[in-house]
Amino acid sequence: MLNRQNLRHFNRTVRMPEENSKAPTPSEAFGAAPDELNELQRRYRTHISNLNQNAMTLVPFNLLDIYPSTESISELISQVDDLKKCLDSFRPLSPEQAENLQQVFDTEYTYDSNRIEGNTLTLQETALVLEKGVTIGGKPLKEHLEVINHQEAIGYIRDIVNKDVELDERALKDIHAIILKSIDRKNAGAYRRIGVMIRGSKHRPPEPHMVAELMDNYFAFYRQNNETMHPVLLAADMHEKLVTIHPFVDGNGRSARMLMNLILLQQGYPVANISSERDERQDYYTALEAVQTGGSIDHFHRVVLKAVKTALIKYLDVMSPDVEEGKGDYYLERIAPHID
């Protein structure tokens, strides 16, 4: 369940303004005249009312009509930037919105991230473990712990964002320690001291004596690029580099996806989820393998950009039926041509 502390963490990740700060007016923030925004809001409310009367979905329309599928990295970046601007126009979120978004999307993220690594709990079973503390019959204790630990790790990265803690080696090792808590006490939060191989991959991770230096370079890369790279591309690069170094005996994939989302949350993006469905999971592995065997990182950038785009659209779909005065103004401007 969402408690007051976790809600504060979530609100911080979506960059809620200070209580006494003066929020810009819609016209100041987005350049539209107040009369135009009022007319857009009127038309939008009529549109939603018509959907309700016709017993249709409350999602006003498919945002992919505005942000169509593309393989162009530059177009994906442009779409992600514009979708984030739409999302920002709804902020600050109400406590009810924050609670709903966190519960739904964190559960899905936990389910998919664990399933990628072989966890057999279904999405519904994952939700029962997290929300009700239920033990699923016939499923091993380790899989329950993976669910509980992953959810705790999400809370931890939100705590880092809330407290403006720098992303460094200590933060990464803490994330990994949480992910493997009560599963592998010996290796939780510790770099590996043995050689490893990745099943089904042509990539051979570096020898253990190289890990410490490679990780020093890893965090140096982050510090050098944190202020200059596009946040989504930086998050993708940090993800790829971590799984390529493979600094831990186990838990590298979950740690890499968690660290990627830490970077995204720091920049006001929602949690991005890599789907565990067969085709999407294989595309994710193929994209990583390409980089690890000397190929381009472009494919992996596309994978992460698409995941962020999907997350932004899902957030907007949840919030869009409840547009109110002073909220969602840029979003309304973007969808105006599609409102009846």
Active site residues: 246
Asked if 230 contacts 304 with a C-beta cutoff of 8 angstroms, the reply is no
Q: Indicate the angle between helix axes 95-116 and 4-13, nearest 10 degrees.
A: 90
| Residue type at 89 in one-letter notation | S
Peptide bond into 92 cis (omega under 30): yes
Neighbours of 48 (CB within 10 A): 17
- The secondary structure of 263-323 as a DSSP string is HHHHTTPPPP----SHHHHHHHHHHHHHHHTT--SHHHHHHHHHHHHHHHHHHHHHHGGG-
List CB contacts of 271: < 8 A, sequence separation 6 or more. 105, 106, 109, 154, 261, 264, 265, 311
Query: HSE (CB half, 13 Å, CA atoms) of 143?
Result: 23
How would you write 5-23 as a 3-class SS string? HHHHHHHHHCCCCCCCCCC
Measure the CA–CA gap between 211 and 219, rounded to whole angstroms: 12
Measure the CA–CA gap between 4 and 328, rounded to whole angstroms: 25
